[in-house]
Structure 1
Amino acid sequence: MIIETEHLIIRDFQEKDAVGLLEYLSHPRVNCFVSERLCSEESALAYISNTPKELLRYAVCLKEDDFIIGDVFALREEADTFNVGWHFNQRFEGKGLAHEAATEFLDYLFREAGARRIYGFVEDDNLRSKRLCERLGMRYEGCMKEFISFVCHPDGTPRYEDTCIYAVLNKEWKNNKNR
């Protein structure tokens, strides 16, 4: 799969992506990705080669030099429903690149993968991801209080996260694109 945008290429992962992947996943900025922390180029290569078959996961690269700056992913939960997410390198924030990539990825899921509904979970304190969902036209559907724990407090007890849900239907996506 290859999607080209004005500034980006969204494509399958390649071995050369290991260095860039390590750069942004060596210290995941949100707790839900703590289990994906990478500590070496070898672990980044393993991450690339061990993508579960049911997960659509693609590298987001700069068009000018094909350097990976993030990734987008989706899990098909029902025949027509996808749970989506993304990681982006902090070094490239504030340039609209995450919005550009996520817009094209969601469009791909609606057009090519038969999505009727796309939703994402966002930790309540992840303001950048919440804003991205809103810019994409995703509707805030609610916040589950103390929904899940990814990390522990210093005393070893679980730290539960408040988790928001954002979603968009295919018909809403089409209406938003026509405006």
Structure 2
Amino acid sequence: RRMAMDSMLCRFKDDFIIGDVFALRENEDTYNVGWHFNKRFEGKGFACEAAAGLLDYLFREAGARRIYGFVEDDNIRSKRLCERLGMRREGCFKEFVTFVNNPDGSPKYEDTCVYAILEKEWNTIRQW
């Protein structure tokens, strides 16, 4: 049974939505994660804090052994975030179908990388 979770991140003073983090359970111990953030809030540490919190929850509370995410090859900020979280690049799919279509409705293809981290790696780098 696949389980999904999605958490919106809001600015405290006015509840303005600045982004979201999400996870999809692929099997008993493997999760696919991702995030979206408003460009106005890039570079302020919100994504790192939220994504680290999500990974920590999945490893400590949800029983994750492996967490991975797909990142478009030209999305430098998300690639850096994955690396900052301790995730390693495991490979890159050429012309991988994306979640959006071209303006004419045809499928959009982009080079997409896979980043992943294991629970034992997370426990080594995260000393909470």
Task: With the length of structure 1 as denominator, give the TM-score of the two structures.
Answer: 0.64
Correspondence 1:11-26 to 2 at 5 A: none
2:17 maps to amino acid: I
Q: Which has the higher strand share?
A: 2
Q: State the SS of the aligned residue for 1:101.
A: helix
Worse overlay, 86-95 or 143-152: 143-152
2-structure distance, mates of 1:84, 1:157: 26
Deviations 1:89-121 (A, max 9, x none): 111111111101111111011111111000000
1-structure distance, mates of 2:6, 2:108: 28
1-structure distance, mates of 2:13, 2:63: 31
Aligned length: 126
Q: State the SS of the aligned residue for 1:73.
A: strand
Q: Which has the higher helix share?
A: 1
Larger radius of gyration: 1
Correspondence 1:105-144 to 2 at 5 A: 105-144=54-93
2-structure distance, mates of 1:111, 1:157: 41
Cα root mean square deviation, aligned: 2.1
> Structure 1 stretches (4+) deviating beyond 6 angstroms?
none
2-structure distance, mates of 1:73, 1:158: 23
**Residue 151 of structure 1 aligns with which residue?**
101
**Equivalent pair of 1:139/1:167 in contact (CA under 8 Å):** yes
**Residue 99 of structure 1 aligns with which residue?**
48
Matched, 1:167 2:112: no
Deviations 1:55-105 (A, max 9, x none): 100111234444321111000001000000011111111111110111111
Matched, 1:71 2:20: yes
**Equivalent pair of 1:153/1:159 in contact (CA under 8 Å):** no
Distance change in 2, residues 1:153/1:69 (3 Å): closer
2-structure distance, mates of 1:142, 1:55: 24
- Unmatched 5+ stretches in structure 1: 1-52
